Structures are given as structure tokens and as C-alpha cells.
Structure 1
Amino acid sequence: MNQLPILLNLKDRRILLLGNGEMADAKRRLYERAGAVITDDEHASGIALAVVALENDDEAMAAVERLKARGLLVNAVDRSALCDYTTPAIIDRDPVLIAIGTGGASAGLAKALRQRLEQLLPAGLGVLSVALYQSRERIQQIWPEGAARRKAIDAALDPNGPLDVLADHKMEDLEAWLEQPHGQARSQVIDLELASADPDDLTLRQARWLGQADQIFASDDVPEAVLVRARADAERFTLSFWDEQPTTGLTLRIRMKI
């Protein structure tokens, strides 16, 4: 690891942005989204970070040298060798943030990883985070001992747990867990009709179900590329193992605990 990922609170903090055009506009949108105040005045006071998005190489290098001489941390757009820090590809499930960086090696790779992970992470992940935060006192009352509390939360958030992080949740799901924190899990059987043999054609819901399944029953024509999207520890069976045959076509039948 040659970089330390950190999350900065930039709300109402001043960010120096030098440059115009598409690169500068993209950075402006990113920092304003984080609540920062953008300025192009190098002499402004209270600057937290500096961004150089100048297209001319000589002008960019000169600006970086000036700003670093003032002790500022600088991000030089598309010039990783000059950067004190880089901005990652971001998955935003406010207040949950997931950052993907390559140390400036390839923004395209970071983007591709973000797009792939976006398919797996439910839109309600932020709702779950807020619900857990608002229920801290109640959780502490149910599990007053720290070790027991951590174990209970881990079990709830685990695959197939009542608050599985790869499943969509509402505030009512947390309430149900707190009402029966020691309740027994039950099983659910789901049939998946696949659009094609290409794993990239899985829907978001299908990808989540595969990631949660305890047992996978697959017809012979389901390719390995699809099956590897399931949990590594999920049991696999041929579909003929199941007494009742589903419809024809590329079919997965999965059993999961909920």
C-alpha cells in the first residue's frame, strides 16, 4: 500500500482549483458535492487543498511547484507523478462511501471496478447505516456487553443475516431484528430465469440473491462464469437433484436463509 485512504470533511472548506475546461469542471462538481467552497484565487486564505487542472504541461508543473512550496497538498489532474493525493472512484450510498483508487495508475480501472461493484451494492445501504446509527442506544440495551454486541451485529450483517449488507432494507427490517434479535433464520427458495449465459446480464436482484444463497441448484447449461458469482461456500447441486423440475432454459434454483 503506497497510499493511505482517508475520508475528509470538506464542508465549507476552501479548495483552490486552477484551470478551465472539462477536467476542471469534473473536479469542481466532485468537491462541491462534498460541500467544499471552490476558489481560483491562489492568494486566498484558509485553503485546505489545491487542484491543478491546467492543460499546458509547463504551466501545470509551475503551479504545482508554487503550491507545494506553500505547504499545500496538491492534486495534479492526469499527472499522477506530481500528485500528493489522488481522488478515487466513488460509490455513494450516503452516508456510506466506498472509494476505489489505483494510486493514479489507471482512472479507467477504478471506474470499471466502481461500475461492477455498483451492481452488487443495494440502493438502501445508506438507509441501513442511518437506521443502525439511530438505534445505537437500543442495541446497547439489548447487548450491554461489547463483545456480545459486536458478535450480534456481525451476525446480522453477514450473508443471509436479517440485515445482510447486500440486500435492500427498510427501517422496518431493523425494527424486526431488534424485536426478535435471537430469532431463528428460515429458508426461502427462489427460481432464477437467466437472460443469457453472460454473467454481466444478471440483474441487480439476481446478483444479490446469488451472493446470499446457501445452496445452488443449476441446470447443466448454466456456465461456470455465472456460478462463480455465488458465495464460495455455497453448496452446489445439479438441478436433477431437485424433485420438482422448473421451466426449461437457463435456470438456477437457489435456497437462501432469510
Structure 2
Amino acid sequence: MHSLPVFLRLRGRAVILIGEGEAADAKRRLLERAGARVVGEEAEAALAIVANGDEAAVARLKGRGVLVNATDRPELCDFTLPAIVDRDPVLIAVGTGGASAGLAKALRQRIETLLPARLGALATALFEAREAIRMRWPDAAARRHAIDAGLAEGGPIDPLQGDADKSVATWLAGDIDRDARGLVAIRLASTDPDDLTLRTARLLGAADRIYHKPDVPVAILDRARADAARIIADAKPHGQEQGLTLWLEMAERRC
């Protein structure tokens, strides 16, 4: 991973913008849309966008400790600006580290067609129901599994359903028994994460812990939740642990 994606709250905060013309105008619109105050080079700010290729300005700003984005100059950038899918308050950012803005744009356009216009309403409904969710599932692990089951494909609040926000109350009142628990053993046929089956990819995204042999590639383990425990082991674990546990091993190769 070449960069750490973050979402910055810029409302009311100063951001330096240097340059004129189409590129600078586009960056100004983006900053103003995020609520930032666009200021000149001499102002105090933590972030700056240099839209005119002025390397001297980049050097001056970096000398002041300002994080800089230099338009079309990824080698000079401390941060890059992604293509954005906006379903407020849901934001999806697609970045290539400055390698290809065209590719990021194409991916954004594909994602746009998949996501319902009311996706943001679902996020708002879940936020407003957070206390009720905690009361319904006081245990944190049980709560996470219930939310995962609700949001799963075909679940009562599947985010790709156009009116899922209207089903939050029904989901809270219903019986959730689809959450995965126990130990699931998976034998991987390939070291390429793109070859993962849909089932395996979903299990990786839901697992609480992953036991694996040393030869399981990091690229596959990276498909799991960031907070899932990873434990190297020579054999499948015994006993029952709370939540979902995976055992990963590579399939034997035949000559």
C-alpha cells in the first residue's frame, strides 16, 4: 500500500491554492465543496495544492512544513486527490497514487452505477439507530456479526437495495441467525488473491481471527479485516473460540 487513505474534515479550515486556469478552478471547486477556506501562499495552513507546476512554490511550502499536492507531479506530492463517489455521508475515494487520473475516473464512474442514490440515507439511519443497535446486541462481537449479516448481499439492509434505509427498524426487530461463527477450514488453490472465490473473500472480510500456515501469502491475508488476528500455525486449531475463525492452508501441488 503506497499511501494511507484518510478523510480530512476541512470545513472552515484554510487550504492554500496556487495557480490559475482549468486545473486550479477544478481544485477550488473541490475544496469549497468540502467547506475549506481557499487562501494564498502567505497564509497559515497545513495543506496546499500547487496547480501550476511551480516547483519553487512546492519547495517553499514544504520548507514551512505544509503538506503539498502538486497537480500532475506525483513525485512532488505529499498527498494525492482521489476520484470521489459522493453519497453523503458515504464517500468512496478511488486513488492511483497519481499514476493515472483517467483510471481513477473510470473506476469511479463504474462504481457510481452500482450504488443507489439513497445509500447515504442508509448510513444516516444506522447512525441514528446506534443506541438501539447497542441495546439489541450489547456484546461487541455479536453486534458486529449482526451488522455484517444485515448488510450482506440479500440481507435485510443490503446497501445495494435502493430503499434499505427504510428496513433498519425491521432488521432491528427481527431474528439475526445468518452471522457466521465457528471454525471454517479453507484450502487455497492459488497464491493470487484475484483467484479467491466469492465465498472465501466474504469469509476473510468477516473473520475475527485467521490461523494459517507460514506459506499463505501476505497478499491473501491482506484481504482480511485489518483488525482480524493473524496467527501462524502448523495445524488447524482445536476448540471453539467466540466469533468466526478461519484456518488457511495452501493446496498440495501435483506434479
Q: How does the TM-score come out when normalised to structure 2?
A: 0.68
Q: Deviations over 1:100-147 (max 9, x none)?
A: 100100000000000001111111111111111100111111111111
After the TM superposition, which residues 77-226 of structure 1 pair with which residues of structure 2 at under 5 Å, given as runs?
A: 77-169=71-163, 171-182=165-176
Query: Which range moved further: 65-74 or 166-175?
Result: 166-175
Equivalent AA in structure 2 for residue 44 of structure 1: A
- Counterpart of 2:8 in structure 1 is 8
CA distance in 1, matches of 2:119, 2:160: 8
Shift of 1:18: 0.6
- Counterpart of 1:49 in structure 2 is 47
Q: Contact conserved, 1:13 with 1:48, CA < 8 A, in 2? A: no
CA distance in 2, matches of 1:96, 1:43: 34
Q: Unpaired runs of 5+ in structure 2?
A: 179-196, 200-255
Q: State the percentage of identical aligned residues.
A: 57
- Counterpart of 1:215 in structure 2 is none
- Counterpart of 2:233 in structure 1 is none
Q: Contact conserved, 1:163 with 1:173, CA < 8 A, in 2? A: yes
Q: Unpaired runs of 5+ in structure 1?
A: 185-230, 234-258
Partner of 2:46, secondary structure, is strand
Residues 181, 48 of structure 1: alpha-carbon distance in 2 compared, 3 angstrom cutoff:
farther
Query: Which range moved further: 80-89 or 173-182?
Result: 173-182
Shift of 1:49: 0.5
- Counterpart of 1:32 in structure 2 is 32
Partner of 1:148, secondary structure, is helix
- Counterpart of 1:220 in structure 2 is none
Q: Deviations over 1:216-258 (max 9, x none)?
A: xxxxxxxxxxxxxxx956xxxxxxxxxxxxxxxxxxxxxxxxx
Check if 1:66 corresponds to 2:60: yes
CA distance in 1, matches of 2:21, 2:130: 46
Shift of 1:172: 2.5
CA distance in 2, matches of 1:115, 1:76: 24
Equivalent AA in structure 1 for residue 119 of structure 2: L
CA distance in 2, matches of 1:114, 1:183: 34
Aligned length: 181
Q: Contact conserved, 2:15 with 2:46, CA < 8 A, in 1? A: yes
Rg larger for? 1
RMSD: 1.7
CA distance in 1, matches of 2:175, 2:14: 46
Q: Contact conserved, 2:14 with 2:37, CA < 8 A, in 1? A: yes
